[in-house]
């Protein structure tokens, strides 16, 4: 409270006048509240939208609108010949933000990089346990095993030593958990006895500096005039937290906000017809699938799996479950990702052929459980309905389906069991734009009994993805992943169902907004016309 008060009286009243908002004030009707403002502590996109994108930078960045990795706070980097050392040359003259409690005395340098990673990596680091630090993403991306050391060569050179070759490492450095915080601010807050301020009153190098957050209501930012990549045209950025999608649309129409995420699929047609609203769209970086348990007869037979896949009418699922805001998936990675193999041919929808193939495989009177998730996700907005459609499809080829569901936590844990009975509806949203993040996590041998819900460990596929993981030549990696997708299609551990389509409705005066394939909502580069 007192913090909010301090900031209120200080920074902002100068930035926001009481009676008029600056013309370049963008209001974003966000869908929920951030959990905090230190992105390394959290995993939700809502939190990243409010923290890592406006406030922070990383050593490498994703080029907005693509999954390509470009220089960020590191101007350049090089890998050693054995692929075990990455040396980053840091950008000079990058200033951190200031707030009521802290004014930086120096620019960004190697100490900040060391601090940002060592606090997550070393259990005895003073900041390791601050704010209940569990560093989920750092752990989830296997960074503790991967990073052997982070060394300062000089003020503007940092070396990461890895325990194994790992090509996606550079993309990992562009992820939200790798945001660079100020070591000087951290020291000052530790000395003041308020280390949790790092999470509550964030200081970064990003295009917007944090002004105030009123829980579940409003987040305010103001432009960082000294931003190293050029100050944003927007002078103020406001997140008006609006959990209900219909209300977000009403606010957009009434001019109470400029941009909103996650419209109701049913509203999209009306929005497109509305002159007061522009709707941008792009495929999401995700996939929804049905994973068979490939360790259990008869689903251990690829012919049976392929036969079942031919019985699923995916177009009907797109029409009914996604209400048009999805597209049929034929590969386990989405089309916006590099190495997507468009030459792969999807299994045709052909119930007669499916029936014949099942008979040829010697399977009759098959019964199957389909697990329907109890939660909504972009890759599956209504799993129950999807399961019902599949039930009808499978009935046509003589397969009896029982639909089961559990509470979400139970669902996640039981669906990982190796002797799970039935096929599971689930999906995945990409973290770092690297195919490894889909293919190894979801289909690699290490993921069996965990994130590999098909319990599928197929050596030819495993060899390809492991070779691609350590290969640093991009063209060769692409070739390996393309081949892996062919093997996947042939073996059919999943029925690939859909990739969602992301819609971003906004008012016509918003210019320069780019829908980011990694799912974040980014306002740097956006401006408002009269």
Partner 1 sequence: MLRYILARLVTFVPTFIGVTLISFAFIRVLPGDPIIVMAGERGMTEERYQSLVEELGFDRPVLEQYWHYLGGIVQGDLGQSFVTKRPVWDEFFALFPATLELSICAMILAIALGLPAGVIAAVNRGKFFDRALMSTALVGYSMPIFWWALLLIIVFSGNLAWTPVSGRIDLLYYFDNTTGFMLIDSILSGQKGAFGSAVRHLILPTIVLGTIPLAVIARQTRSAMLEVLSEDYIRTARAKGLSPARINGVHALRNALIPVITVIGLSIGTLLAGAILTETIFSWPGIGKWMVDSISRRDYPVVQGGLLLIAVMVMIVNLIVDVLYGFINPKIRKR
Residues contributing to the site for partner 1 (CB under 8 A)? 1, 4-5, 8-9, 12-13, 16, 18-21, 27, 35-36, 41, 43, 131-132, 134, 136, 139-140, 196, 199-200, 212, 214-218, 220, 238, 240-244, 246-247, 250-251, 253-254, 256, 406-410, 412-413, 416, 426-429, 441, 447, 450-451
Write the Ramachandran bin of 422: left for phi over 0, alpha for psi from -120 to 50, otherwise beta.
left
CA distances from 494 to 165, 343, 508 (A): 29, 18, 41
Backbone angles phi, psi at 291, to 5 degrees: -100, 120
CA geometry: angle 20, 24, 28, nearest 5 deg = 95
Least spacing, CB of residue 338 vs partner 1, in Å: 22
Least spacing, CB of residue 209 vs partner 1, in Å: 15
Nearer to partner 1, 196 or 346 (CB): 196
Nearer to partner 1, 293 or 341 (CB): 293
Least spacing, CB of residue 353 vs partner 1, in Å: 32
* CB-side neighbour CA atoms (13 Å) of 529: 8
Least spacing, CB of residue 188 vs partner 1, in Å: 20
Nearer to partner 1, 306 or 453 (CB): 453
Q: Are strands 147-154 and 423-429 parallel, antiparallel or unpaired?
A: unpaired
* Cα(86)–Cα(7) distance, integer angstroms: 39
Least spacing, CB of residue 243 vs partner 1, in Å: 5
Least spacing, CB of residue 52 vs partner 1, in Å: 16
Structure tokens at 376: 């909504």
Place of tokens 């070779």: 467
* Cα(433)–Cα(516) distance, integer angstroms: 11
Least spacing, CB of residue 134 vs partner 1, in Å: 7
Under 8 Å between Cβ of 402 and 411 = no
End-to-end CA distance of the chain: 36
Place of tokens 């340098």: 109
Least spacing, CB of residue 256 vs partner 1, in Å: 6
Least spacing, CB of residue 183 vs partner 1, in Å: 21
CA distances from 213 to 33, 77, 219, 377, 406 (A): 10, 36, 4, 27, 36
Structure tokens at 439: 């293919």
Nearer to partner 1, 29 or 94 (CB): 29
Nearer to partner 1, 237 or 307 (CB): 237
Residue ranges in 23-91 assigned as alpha helix (H): 45-50, 52-55
Nearer to partner 1, 122 or 408 (CB): 408
Least spacing, CB of residue 105 vs partner 1, in Å: 29
Nearer to partner 1, 340 or 406 (CB): 406
Least spacing, CB of residue 502 vs partner 1, in Å: 18
Nearer to partner 1, 87 or 416 (CB): 416
Residues forming beta bridges with residue 483, ordered by sequence position: none
Count of CB atoms situated within 10 Å of the CB of 233: 15
* Cα(374)–Cα(356) distance, integer angstroms: 34
* Cα(208)–Cα(56) distance, integer angstroms: 8
Under 8 Å between Cβ of 76 and 92 = no
Nearer to partner 1, 12 or 279 (CB): 12
Count of CB atoms situated within 10 Å of the CB of 180: 24
Nearer to partner 1, 111 or 196 (CB): 196
Least spacing, CB of residue 451 vs partner 1, in Å: 4
Structure tokens at 175: 């992820």
Nearer to partner 1, 120 or 242 (CB): 242
Place of tokens 């329907």: 372
Least spacing, CB of residue 220 vs partner 1, in Å: 7
Nearest Cα to Cα of residue 433 among 53, 70, 145, 12: 70
* Cα(115)–Cα(239) distance, integer angstroms: 29
Structure tokens at 506: 């906004």
* Cα(45)–Cα(251) distance, integer angstroms: 22
Nearer to partner 1, 218 or 353 (CB): 218
Nearer to partner 1, 72 or 430 (CB): 430
Under 8 Å between Cβ of 50 and 521 = no
CB burial string 209-226: b at 16+ within 10 A, e below: bbbbbeeeeebbbbbbee
């Amino acid at each position: 409270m007192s913090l909010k008060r301090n900031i209120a009286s200080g920074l902002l009243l100068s930035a926001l006048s009481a009676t008029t908002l600056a013309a370049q004030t963008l209001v974003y009707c966000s869908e929920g509240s951030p959990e905090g403002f230190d992105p390394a502590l959290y995993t939700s996109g809502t939190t990243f939208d409010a923290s890592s994108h406006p406030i922070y930078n990383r050593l490498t960045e994703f080029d907005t609108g693509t999954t390509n990795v470009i220089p960020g706070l590191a101007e350049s980097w090089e890998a050693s010949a054995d692929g075990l050392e990455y040396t980053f040359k840091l950008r000079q003259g990058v200033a951190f933000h200031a707030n009521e409690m802290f004014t930086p005395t120096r620019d960004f340098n190697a100490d900040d990089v060391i601090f940002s990673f060592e606090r997550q990596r070393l259990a005895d680091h003073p900041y390791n346990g601050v704010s209940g630090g569990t560093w989920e993403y750092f752990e989830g991306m296997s960074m503790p095993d991967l990073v052997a050391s982070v060394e300062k060569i000089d003020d503007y050179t940092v070396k990461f030593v890895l325990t194994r070759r790992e090509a996606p490492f550079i993309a990992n450095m562009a992820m939200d958990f790798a945001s660079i915080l100020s070591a000087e601010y951290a020291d000052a807050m530790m000395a003041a006895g308020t280390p949790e301020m790092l999470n509550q009153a964030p200081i970064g190098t990003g295009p917007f500096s944090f002004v105030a957050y009123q829980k579940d209501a409003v987040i305010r930012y103001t432009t960082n005039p000294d931003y190293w990549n050029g100050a944003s045209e927007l002078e103020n950025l406001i997140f008006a937290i609006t959990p209900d999608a219909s209300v977000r649309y009403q606010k957009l129409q009434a001019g109470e906000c400029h941009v909103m995420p996650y419209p109701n699929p049913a509203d999209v047609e009306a929005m497109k017809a509305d002159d007061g609203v522009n709707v941008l769209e792009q495929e999401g970086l995700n996939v929804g699938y049905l994973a068979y348990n490939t360790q259990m007869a008869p689903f251990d037979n690829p012919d049976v799996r392929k036969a079942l896949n031919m019985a699923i009418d995916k177009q009907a699922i797109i029409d009914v479950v996604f209400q048009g805001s999805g597209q049929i998936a034929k590969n386990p990675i989405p089309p916006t990702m590099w190495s997507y193999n468009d030459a792969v041919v999807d299994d045709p929808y052909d119930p007669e052929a499916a029936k014949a193939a099942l008979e040829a495989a010697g399977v009759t009177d098959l019964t199957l459980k389909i697990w329907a998730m109890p939660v909504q996700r972009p890759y599956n907005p209504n799993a129950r309905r999807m399961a019902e459609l599949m039930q009808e499809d499978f009935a046509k080829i003589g397969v009896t389906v029982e639909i089961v569901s559990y509470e979400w936590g139970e669902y996640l844990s039981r669906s990982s069991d190796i002797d799970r009975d039935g096929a599971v509806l689930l999906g995945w949203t990409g973290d770092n734009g690297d195919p490894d993040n889909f293919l190894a996590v979801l289909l690699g041998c290490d993921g069996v009994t965990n994130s590999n819900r098909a319990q599928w460990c197929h050596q030819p596929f495993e060899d390809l993805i492991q070779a691609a993981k350590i290969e640093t030549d991009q063209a060769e990696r692409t070739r390996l992943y393309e081949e892996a997708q062919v093997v996947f299609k042939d073996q059919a551990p999943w029925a690939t169902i859909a990739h969602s389509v992301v819609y971003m409705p906004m008012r016509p005066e918003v210019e320069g907004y780019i829908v980011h394939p990694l799912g974040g909502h980014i306002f740097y580069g956006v401006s408002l016309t009269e």
